């Protein structure tokens, strides 16, 4: 049986784990829809927090191939449900999370899976894949060419730069805790705070996300 998703947290195709309720984590592969802090002043008004894995390690917390794809799918479901028609997606799970996927995954496989998930689930939402590294962009260029979908494009640049992708919502490479962390998530947190590390706006979004997760578990009562 699937989870019951809420307006702000989609958990389709996520493995059931009732123990996550006690620690107020989002399910593995879920996505939560939050505000965007200072980014709203620059055209980006929402963030889909894609929880492809957790900051803590262990079974049920480590990212998987399926959880990466599910977190993209759930981000697209939220974007459509919130009335957004353009979404920018970064190369999630390409850093620390990549090394925790078992058996080992390489960047080309993850890029392929992300592209396939977008093509399968984007519906009416146009997607811009944003790659910072030229070699990453080259990977996505080929896979997007292969799917031959005019609603999917690739840009090189920063996910926090509206002028790069012109999308009012972006996906964050988040975690099941739905708290800003390091790597790409840390860069997004800095942008949320208007270029300041550890500012109050990212803390407020972390708190917002915790409330979203609590509401999700209230919609999924313990048996």
Residue 27 burial (CB < 10 Å; 0-12/13-18/19+)? buried
**The predicted structure's pLDDT at residue 96:** 84
96 three-state secondary structure: coil
* pLDDT tier at 32, thresholds 50, 70, 90: very high
Beta strands in 61-149 (DSSP E): 86-90, 126-131
* pLDDT tier at 61, thresholds 50, 70, 90: very high
Name residues whose C-beta falls within 8 Å of residue 174's C-beta, 6 or more positions apart in sequence. Answer: 31, 32, 49, 50, 51, 52, 180, 181, 185
**The predicted structure's pLDDT at residue 223:** 79
- Tokens standing for residue 169: 């919502």
> In angstroms, rounded to a whole number, what is the distance separating the alpha carbons of residues 114 and 90?
9
**The predicted structure's pLDDT at residue 1:** 66
Peptide bond into 201 cis (omega under 30): no
The domains found in the chain, sorted by start residue, are 10-15+25-202 (3.40.220)
Beta strands in the chain (DSSP E): 9-10, 30-34, 46-51, 86-90, 126-131, 152-156, 169-173
Phi, psi dihedral angles at 222 (to 5 degrees): -65, 140
What percent of the chain shows pLDDT beyond 70? 100
> In angstroms, rounded to a whole number, what is the distance separating the alpha carbons of residues 71 and 114?
9
CB 209 within 8 A of CB 192: no
Query: How does pLDDT run across 124-171, given as a tens digit for each residue?
Result: 999 999 999 999 999 999 999 999 999 999 999 999 999 999 999 999
């Amino acid at each position: 049986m699937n989870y019951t998703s809420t307006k702000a947290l989609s958990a389709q195709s996520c493995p059931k784990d009732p123990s996550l309720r006690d620690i107020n984590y989002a399910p593995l592969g879920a996505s939560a829809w939050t505000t965007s802090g200072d980014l709203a002043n620059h055209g980006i008004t929402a963030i889909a927090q894609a929880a492809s894995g957790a900051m803590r390690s262990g079974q049920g917390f480590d990212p998987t191939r399926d959880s990466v794809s599910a977190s993209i799918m759930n981000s697209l479901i939220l974007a459509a449900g919130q009335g957004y028609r353009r979404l920018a997606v970064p190369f999630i799970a390409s850093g620390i999370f990549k090394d925790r996927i078992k058996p080992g995954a390489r960047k080309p496989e993850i890029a392929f899976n992300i592209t396939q998930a977008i093509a399968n689930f984007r519906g009416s939402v146009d997607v811009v894949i944003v790659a910072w590294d030229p070699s990453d962009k080259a990977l996505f260029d080929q896979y997007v060419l292969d799917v031959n979908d005019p609603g999917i494009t690739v840009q090189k640049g920063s996910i926090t730069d509206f002028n790069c992708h012109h999308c009012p919502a972006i996906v964050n490479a988040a975690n099941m805790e739905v708290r800003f962390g390091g790597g790409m998530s840390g860069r997004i947190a800095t942008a949320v705070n208007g270029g300041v590390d550890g500012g109050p706006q990212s803390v407020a979004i972390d708190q917002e996300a915790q409330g979203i997760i609590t509401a999700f578990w209230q919609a999924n009562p313990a048996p």
